Amino acid sequence: MLLPSSLSLLAEIDVLHLMFGGSGAVLVVAYILTASSVLSLFVIFYKLVAISQAQSQSITFLDKFWESKRLDEIFRQAEALKYSPLAAMFRAGYIELSKVKKGQTPETGAMHEKMDGMENIERALARAKVSETTKLENLLPFLATVGSAAPFVGLFGTVWGIMTAFAKISEEGKADLATVAGPIGEALIATAIALAAAIPAVVAYNYFNRRVKVLGSEMTTFGSDYLNILKRHFF
């Protein structure tokens, strides 16, 4: 049972002092984890805005794509949707289609040349999909790294801090609460900071990874539909 004096001592513990009042490895770990946590929050906010824009503009593009009857009209509308991966795929396919049609004439438009043109368009769509997927996945590895590495960094700080605390206790030759609370608290705060950095990073990574997979499936479906339309009307 804790005495009233002990309770008042625990109540006076300053979290900020525990975080940045340490020394040596514990202080370095605290700064690293705090910086990682701040950067993670920035990345989470940035990716939330970017992926939401990509999703909303893709929905808008699909509506315009299926409502329009002319590819050049869709291309003009797609140019305004800079954040949509589907619009980017359409633009890549349309530009390649323009090159193919420009290079074909009634005399040179043989069947093998038409097939080569179709393959060029397929490759253009594949390149665009890879490029857009890379953009969507940008910075997600950082969240995964923070989520997986932060607990171990915090554990290292805690272990090192406890070792230092026991060394000081051994030097002073006493182990009452006043002597133990401060050093042990400074050691344990490293794990607390690590969890505060890792948990949001892991949750956000899984959430964004799921949304990127959904957009990837939409790009695959759109690419197949787009190629079918081109084969039916131009090849």
pLDDT at site 26:
81
Query: Of the ranges 8-12, 13-17, 127-131, 219-223, which one carries the lowest mean pLDDT score?
Result: 8-12
Does the structure show a pLDDT above 50 at 114? yes
Cα–Cα distances (Å) from 170 to 34, 106, 164, 174, 181, in that order, read 31, 94, 10, 7, 15
Distance CA 160, CA 22 (A): 11
Examine the pLDDT at 33 and tell me if it is beyond 80. Answer: yes
Kindly state the tokens that stand for 61. Answer: 């593009």
| C-alpha closest to that of 147 among 192, 187, 196 | 196
pLDDT score of 10 more than 80: no
Give the pLDDT of residue 1. Answer: 43
Contact partners, residue 86, CB within 8 Å, separation at least 6:
58, 61, 62, 65, 218, 219, 222
Compute the distance between CA of residue 38 and CA of residue 44 in angstroms, rounded to an integer: 10
Across the chain, what does the average pLDDT equal?
84
* Rounded CA separation 110/162 (Å): 78
Least reliable range by pLDDT among 62-71, 106-115, 135-144, 158-167: 106-115
Extents of the domains making up the chain? 23-234
Assess contact for 223 and 125: CB atoms under 8 A: yes
When comparing pLDDT for 61 and 172, which is higher? 61
Q: Is 13 helix (H, G, I), strand (E, B) or coil?
A: coil
Per-residue model confidence (pLDDT) at position 30: 86
